[in-house]
Amino acid sequence: MTRVRTRVSAGWLVCLSAGLILVGAGQALAQATLRSDPTVLTAFKSVVAKPSQSTARILCDGKEAALGTIVAADGWIVTKASLLKGKIIVKLKNDTEHAARIVGVEDKHDLAMLKIDARGLTPIQWATAKTAVVGNWLASPGLGDKPVAIGVVSVAARKPALRDMPAPPQRNNSGYLGIFLEERDDGPVTISRVEPNTAAAKAGLKRGDVVLTIQGTPVTDAERLVRSIMGYNAGDVVKLKIKREGSEKEVAVTLGKRPNNSNRGEMQNRMGSQLSERRGGFPTILQHDTVIKPTDCGGPLVGLDGKAVGINIARAGRTESYAIPTESVQALLADLRSGKLAPKASETVVNLADLQDSISKLKAEIAKKEKALAGAEDEADEDEVLTANRQIKALKTRLAQAEATLARLQKDPTKK
């Protein structure tokens, strides 16, 4: 264990470390329970006292979506981009709320810059990520007096290999292509192997093919390709543009059904915490074992001196969370503020999985109301029946709109 400096009780850290040893390396749930104990979190109050002044809560359409990190006194706040949907409100530690607009988005690191009309804020103090060595204690401040989570550095800041990329969340009927991709930090998305008897094999894809677009949308990295495929259903036909031996061609692929052999691993990976929807494909990461909620990503990750070594970006697995290291964040701040990375309406991404989930919920709600209405028509008065029918009609209108949007996007996702 690293030597404890200044503010945190050495006794508490010794007890905590001893507790982690006693529960064993495989007992992640026991570790999470111990670290979430209010008495243990109290030991870190002094650590997060100052950085909590630089932390904001991001609300989207009235619901908690993420945390944010204040980077300038005049209302500039960095957060996790993929969680921003609908009307955005920023809540500060003093309980004031401010309407926010998105000024810049950097997709690879999943970072966004928000601007609010406020002055005199407390910007986060930065420390180099090199100070976050393996085994060092870390804390994630929220708006309260205690951290929202604590943990230790698992792996120093690095560029993750493709094999380290966590799989996106799976659905029962998500599409499956059946390819493996070459290990590379940057460059074209190249197929290294095609599994026999899969959608890719039946469509004639081969080793060495470079995937350029899916349904007309550029494929810039492996994670985007994987997430795009999993947004479709088994049986959907998608068009890939590939490059083979210097020539480009378009291939229509009828997606297969994802094998079930990963269900157990996915279930085990989720034990102890919900995982982030976007949790892979980042160019650089600082890995730690903090059990942080997806809605608490976007805030600062600090060492025992209260200075940020990065921005929490994803809950990636049962024993791993990721932060974007300080150096990477600071290198992007100017572009995020300048308008150079301003989001464009034409680039708005509709998550097919979310849309399909909404359709399923609408169908279930309609069925429930129709069943209740059928059983109550004889007893209910005329006004109640009319009200119920209006509600069902409104739900069916929403369902028709959602199904039309889904059909349009599955045919061509570039048309929003």
Q: How many domains does the chain have?
A: 3
Q: Is residue 377 part of a domain?
A: yes
Q: For the ranges 131-135, 228-232, 270-274, 339-343, which has the lowest average pLDDT?
A: 270-274
Q: Is residue 416 part of a domain?
A: no
Q: What is the pLDDT of residues 19-63, one digit of tens each?
A: 443 334 344 444 555 666 777 888 899 999 999 999 999 999 999
Are 339 and 253 in a shared domain?
no
Are 340 and 356 in a shared domain?
no
Higher pLDDT, 204 or 268: 204
Are 252 and 303 in a shared domain?
no
Confidence of residue 168 (pLDDT cuts 50, 70, 90): low
pLDDT at 263: 47
Q: What is the pLDDT of residues 306-353, one digit of tens each?
A: 999 999 999 988 788 999 999 999 999 999 999 888 886 534 444 565
Q: Is residue 109 part of a domain?
A: yes
Last residue of a domain, one of 226, 257, 288: 257
The span from the CA of 125 to the CA of 129, in Å, is 12
Q: What percent of the chain stands above pLDDT 70?
A: 77
Predicted model pTM: 0.63
pLDDT tops 60 at residue 267: no
Q: What is the pLDDT of residues 229-239, one digit of tens each?
A: 877 888 889 99
Q: Is residue 8 part of a domain?
A: yes
Last residue of a domain, one of 348, 371, 393: 348
Q: What percent of the chain stands above pLDDT 90?
A: 47
pLDDT tops 80 at residue 414: no
Q: How many CB atoms lie within 10 A of CB 91?
A: 16
pLDDT tops 60 at residue 1: no
What's the farthest any 2 CA atoms get from each other in the chain?
75
Are 359 and 339 in a shared domain?
no
Are 279 and 382 in a shared domain?
no
Q: Is residue 138 part of a domain?
A: yes
Burial of 278 (0-12, 13-18, 19+ CB in 10 A): buried
Q: Is residue 267 part of a domain?
A: no
Are 103 and 4 in a shared domain?
yes
Confidence of residue 206 (pLDDT cuts 50, 70, 90): very high
Q: Is residue 15 part of a domain?
A: yes
Output the domain CATH number for residue 144: 2.40.10.120
| Residue-number span of the structural domain to which 4 is assigned | 1-160+275-348
Are 229 and 194 in a shared domain?
yes
pLDDT tops 50 at residue 415: no
Are 155 and 279 in a shared domain?
yes
pLDDT tops 80 at residue 394: no
pLDDT at 269: 47
Q: Is residue 165 part of a domain?
A: no
